[in-house]
Amino acid sequence: MADVKELRKKYTPDMQSEIGESDTFPDKIKRMFRQNKLAVFSFFVILFIIFAAIFAPLVAPFDPYTQSLKDRLASPNSMHLLGTDELGRDVLSRIIYGTRISLVIGLVPTIISMVIGTILGLISGFYGKTVDFIIMRAADIMLAFPSLLLAMVVMYTMGGGLVNIFIALSLVNWAGTARIVRAETLSLKEKEYVEAARSIGVKDIVIMIRHILPNCLPSLIVLFTLNIPSAILSESSLSFLGVGAQPPSASWGLMVVKAKKYLFSQPWLSLAPSIAIMIVVLAFNFLGDGLRDVLDPYLKEQ
């Protein structure tokens, strides 16, 4: 018998233990970076945009608000790489400064609405019955509105401006998150470790935060990455319609609508900010897709 054990150690040392392959969260992220080149590229594009937003004053060649009426509507040239707009302002600089608006509008309302949605989803899924019914009907109501129209109503009442867009987008988009968190809560609630925790008297809120919430994180991360571009698109659409950012703001949507008059003579004025929007949205979408592929089979069914 002892013989056999020595032989095993000698010839098959790496087969002695029973460790399987683990697939933790960092492993999953690493796998995405290995396999999904597009997602990785998008990640760096986003970093670049964040960099441009933070260091805009250093990166932009001109001040975005300085008007120069004698230089207005210039075609792209060596001094103004993307030309100038109808008030003589440098388009490239305005686009660079516009990253600030887009990123902040993308991130902050999304975070706020997802926090609201997560809380409501947890409560709804955990407690069930009447509370669940009420919250879910409220979610149904919010989801019934075509998103743009609802935002338009809010902007009508509150007036235009970026701050109001913030508030509008923060309050209006919680329903999708709430539904998803509720679904995960419902399935996790039945697991034995939750029952066990409850039976030894662990407080509900602790269970929700320590047991259920961490399991929702993968879905939430994916949702976050995918909600950011939709917030950015909402802001630019609202600004395009005139109920969003107001002049002289460097919001990309606003730039497009102001340039609409000159669409046929100076098409780049409309095109440049539009492409900027598209690039940011695309980057977040690719990243979100990549994350969804590795993190969350559940979300795929949505």
Partner 1 sequence: MSVLSVDNLKTSFFTEKGEVPAVNGVTIDVPEGKIIGIVGESGCGKSITAMSIMRLLRHPGKIISGSINLEGQDLTKLSEREMSEIRGSKLSIIFQEPMTSLNPVVKVGQQVSEAIRVHTKVSAAEAKKMTVEVFRRVGIPEPEKRYDSYPHQLSGGLRQRVMIGMAMVCRPKVMIADEPTTALDVTIEAQILRLMKILCRDYGTSIILITHNMGVIAEVCDYVYVMYAGQIMEQAETYDLFDHTGHPYTCGLLRSIPSLSENPKRLYTIEGVVPNLLRLPKGCLFCNRCEEAVEKCFTERPNLYGVESTADSSCGIHAVRCFQYAGEVEADGR
Partner 2 sequence: MNSLNVIKKILKRILISIPVLIGVVLIIFIMLRVVPGDPVTTMMGEHVNQTVIDKISREMGLDQPLYIQFFKYVGDALHGDLGTSYRLNRNVTQIILDAFPNTVVLSLCAAVVAWIIGISAGIVSAVHQNKLLDRLFMGGALVGVSMPVFMIALVLQYAFAFKLKWFPISGYGSAASMVLPSIVLGWNSAGSIARMTRSNLLGVMQEDYIRTARAKGLRQNAVMVHHALKNAMLPVITMMALQISSLLSGAVITESVFGIPGIGRLAVNAIENRDMPLLQGTVIFTTILVILGNLVADLLYSVLDPRIREGE
Upstream peptide bond of 248 is cis (omega within 30 degrees of 0): yes
Phi, psi of 90 (to 5 degrees): -70, 125
Residue 301 binding partner 1, by CB under 8 A = no
Asked whether position 1 contacts partner 1 by CB under 8 A, the answer is yes
* Residue 2 makes contact with partner 1 by CB under 8 A: no
Tokens of 284: 């977040």
As measured in angstroms, the least distance from the Cβ of 124 to partner 2 is 15
Amino acid at 173: N
CA atoms of 174 and 136, how far apart (whole Å): 11
Residue 127 or 262 with smaller CB distance to partner 2: 262
How many Cα atoms are found within 13 Å in the side-chain-facing hemisphere of 262? 19
Among the listed residues 136, 115, 70, the one whose alpha carbon sits nearest the alpha carbon of residue 220: 115
- 249 touches 240 (CB < 8 A): no
Site for partner 2 in 102-141 (CB under 8 A): 137-138, 140-141
Restricting to residues 158-197, name those near partner 2 by CB under 8 A: 158-159
Under rule CB under 8 A, residue 285 binds partner 2: yes
Rg of the chain taking only CA atoms, in angstroms? 25
Closest separation in Å from C-beta 18 to partner 1? 5
Q: How far apart are CA 271 and CA 275, in angstroms?
A: 6
| Nearest CA among 83, 56, 59, 58 for reference residue 71 | 83
Judged by CB under 8 A, does residue 271 bind partner 2?
Answer: yes
Find how far residue 277's CA is from the centre of its chain. Answer: 14
Segment 4 to 63, residues that bind partner 1, using CB under 8 A? 4, 7-8, 10-12, 14-16, 18
Does position 152 bind partner 2 by CB under 8 A?
Answer: yes
| Smallest separation, CB 17 to partner 2 (Å) | 33
Out of partner 1, partner 2, none, which partner does residue 10 contact, by CB within 5 to 8 A per kind?
partner 1
d(CA 61, CA 191): 58
Using CB under 8 A as the binding rule, whether residue 73 contacts partner 2 is answered as no
Binding of partner 2 by 300 (CB under 8 A): yes
Judged by beta carbon, residue 208 or residue 254, the one nearer partner 2 is 254
Q: Is 208 in the site for partner 2 (CB under 8 A)?
A: no
* Site residues (vs partner 1, CB under 8 A): 1, 3-4, 7-8, 10-12, 14-16, 18
